[in-house]
Structure formats: C-alpha cells, structure tokens
Amino acid sequence: MTAQESRDRFRNLEDARGKIRDLLERAQVVPRPRRATRLSRAVKEQRLREKKRAGAVKAARRSVREEES
C-alpha cells in the first residue's frame, strides 16, 4: 500500500495505514446471500393466457375475407 498525498513521510505513513484499515473493514463485510426465486404457477398461467389473447388479436387482424378484397 502506498500513499504519496503529502510531502511529509509520517502523514503518508498514517494515510497508508488508514487505507489498509479501510480495506480490511470492507473485506470483513459478508454480503447477504441471494435467495433463489421462482415464478408461481398462477403468474405463469396468467402470462400464457395473455400471450394467447394477444395472438388471437393478431390472428383476427390477419384474416381478410375474399369478398371484401
């Protein structure tokens, strides 16, 4: 660890020690473990219903009767 903020050797030494202290404090913090999440069945079914509805709307737009053309 180096510190060259000032021209005084002792200030730089204290600054370097402070940096080491901060580094050690940050290293001791344990991150919270991530919880595995999963979509519920109801949410999946709702999504599929909405996709089918959107597909039906698009299919209805496509169908053009021969008489009208």
State the Cα–Cα distance between residues 35 and 27, nearest whole angstrom.
22
Euclidean distance between CA atoms 3 and 19, whole angstroms: 9
Domain of residue 18 covers: 9-31+38-62
Number of domains the chain contains: 1
What is this structure's pTM? Answer: 0.45
Mean pLDDT of the chain: 90
Is 67 part of any domain? no
Query: Mean pLDDT lowest for which of 5-9, 10-14, 47-51, 52-56?
Result: 5-9
In-domain check, residue 51: yes
Is 3 domain-assigned?
no
Residue 2 lies in a domain: no
Let me know if residue 68 belongs to a domain.
no
Q: Percent of the chain scored above 70 by pLDDT?
A: 90
Domain membership flag for residue 25: yes
Predicted pLDDT at 62: 86
Q: What is the pLDDT of residues 19-45, one digit of tens each?
A: 999 999 999 999 999 998 999 999 999
